[in-house]
Chain A
């Protein structure tokens, strides 16, 4: 399937290091697999995360641009690494992170937001979900549950469900987004442990669903390289997920993509095909064997928050529209993403994608000033957008 030279040789190196040396150059490592020779000396590397507090006067709120009639304000700050947001029944907003290992709690006093560090020392707690007053936290391969969470803000005693969920422990692409589906099951993706490689298709490149306390694992979607954002359509209940295309295949290929999972177990193409791009590093299957994405998001834009707007305060065309926070590119010589886009139904049910929040990417200077990450509809119809780089949360409202 995948060309022998990618993995056959890796196995040989492990077994017979001396021999493999004698045979010449060692194989490409996991992270660089599929990296063509002409990109071998590329200086591209992921951007450094900012793990320290950004003072409010240095947060680029004033640079943010939204469509006519919308306003954007700085809603909370002092949450380095802020990513996913979920709302508990009594209004506490829990905010997950990756590098800094914290889960924050934000309480709105009406005039101000009080930010506290709710949990810390977790490895990439980027997945949060609420159910029956309990907060579920996915940190790499771990799954924790804090019961009656809003009554235990100062002293959480998590129940460790890790064993019941049996997640693969490989760190790469092991951070995850989680959410409860309309079927009451907990959806957990598992990315591939590499850039592109041969992998066990029963363990990786999946979106799974589980009983809330683990057990009864089902594979919902296959061939999903790495999804860190998904939601369920407010009317149909269908799973819509975004997916990250692989690195080192060029500046413009493949694109990140948005998919709808129409059937349980549907295969979405990885490693052979991504957003119509037939991967030259892999042979065996072709793009037209797989359902095409419903939207092509752009190369390396890195979709994170993938969220249906369920409020009533935005104009009609945004009701049940899907907002996507693009954290922004690193594996591309010119920056892409660093914005929020909206995918909505136009005339005749056609899907259109429009930029919704911009101003964080400076194309002339090739620098960025923020990284949109999580999205959340509030009960009053406002949309919250977290900014991982500035440790901030913006609030977007509409006034005619």
Chain B
């Protein structure tokens, strides 16, 4: 999190302009240095930082509002989301939604047994029903392929432990009763999905 701390120091200066800043998503992302954590092309190379490229705009809007309102608790996102107006949120979401996503190049080697176990769990809990046949998501249901494995595991654990406030409680129910090993398997399976 050293990166986060460094970036936070710069916010005090950056913010006043941003509050009434441009409605161009790319410019806004540049001004608020979103790319430092999420990748300039929306594909993160930083541990624990999610990729945003190709994520559904409706999902991104909702998450940015949840950060802005202080509901989704993520210290690193507090300053970047502070004071964003609704049109700014929409512009940022549209910008990242339009960037092409793809399988992560740095995703490491496939552990076939682990991935198979993840696939079995996913089938049993119908992850595809909501996240799409290819996990590509739709509307407010996020893309969960093309994502960092460490972030996926973190997100799934947060839902299971009730520490992530989402737009509804669907994911809390989905994760009910799963262990850390199950989560590791799911994250590995998803990170290696095409």
Contacts and interface: CB of A to CB of B under 8 A. Distances in A.
Contact of B65 (A30, A40, A100): A100
B172 A171 contact: yes
A45 B167 contact: no
Given A26-B121, A29-B176, A172-B169, A121 B140 contact: no
Contact of B125 (A29, A102, A169): A29
Contact of B62 (A25, A51, A173): A51
Main secondary structure of the interface of A (DSSP, over half): loop
A49 B173 contact: no
A163 interface: no
A120 B126 contact: no
A44 B61 CA distance: 21
A21 B120 CA distance: 10
A170 B54 CA distance: 33
B13 interface: no
A13 interface: yes
Nearest to A123: B165
A32 interface: yes
B129 A48 contact: no
Nearest to B61: A52
Contacts of A31: 170, 173-174, 176
Contacts of A30: 173-174, 176-177
B179 interface: yes
B117 A121 contact: no
A49 to B, nearest CB: 6
Nearest to A51: B65
B182 A17 contact: yes
A77 to B, nearest CB: 13
B118 to A, nearest CB: 12
A86 to B, nearest CB: 22
Q: How extensive is the interface on chain A, given as a class?
A: 35 or more
Interface string B123-137: 011101110000000
Interface in B143-193: 162, 165, 167-170, 172-177, 179, 181-182
B81 to A, nearest CB: 13
B39 interface: no
A27 B170 CA distance: 17
Contact of A46 (B86, B165, B170, B175): B170
B177 A101 contact: no
B173 A48 contact: no
Interface in A1-56: 10, 13-14, 17, 21, 25-32, 40-49, 51-53
B71 interface: yes
A174 B181 CA distance: 28
B170 A45 contact: yes
B8 interface: no
B36 interface: no
Contacts of B22: none
A336 to B, nearest CB: 19
Contact of B89 (A26, A41, A52): A52
A173 B176 CA distance: 14
B167 A49 contact: yes
A291 interface: no
A42 to B, nearest CB: 6
The residue among A10, A28, A29, A47 with the most chain B CB atoms within 10 A of its own CB is A29
Nearest to B70: A121
A194 interface: yes
A146 to B, nearest CB: 19
Nearest to A25: B124
Given A42-B129, A45-B129, A48-B167, A53 B86 contact: yes
B62 A49 contact: yes
Given A53-B86, A120-B69, A99 B124 contact: no
Interface of B: 58-59, 61-62, 65-66, 69-71, 86, 89-90, 117, 120-121, 124-126, 128-130, 139-141, 162, 165, 167-170, 172-177, 179, 181-182
25 contacts: A26-B121, A27-B124, A28-B124, A29-B125, A30-B174, A30-B176, A43-B129, A48-B62, A48-B139, A48-B167, A49-B167, A51-B61, A51-B62, A52-B61, A52-B65, A99-B62, A100-B65, A100-B71, A101-B70, A120-B69, A121-B71, A123-B71, A172-B173, A173-B169, A195-B173
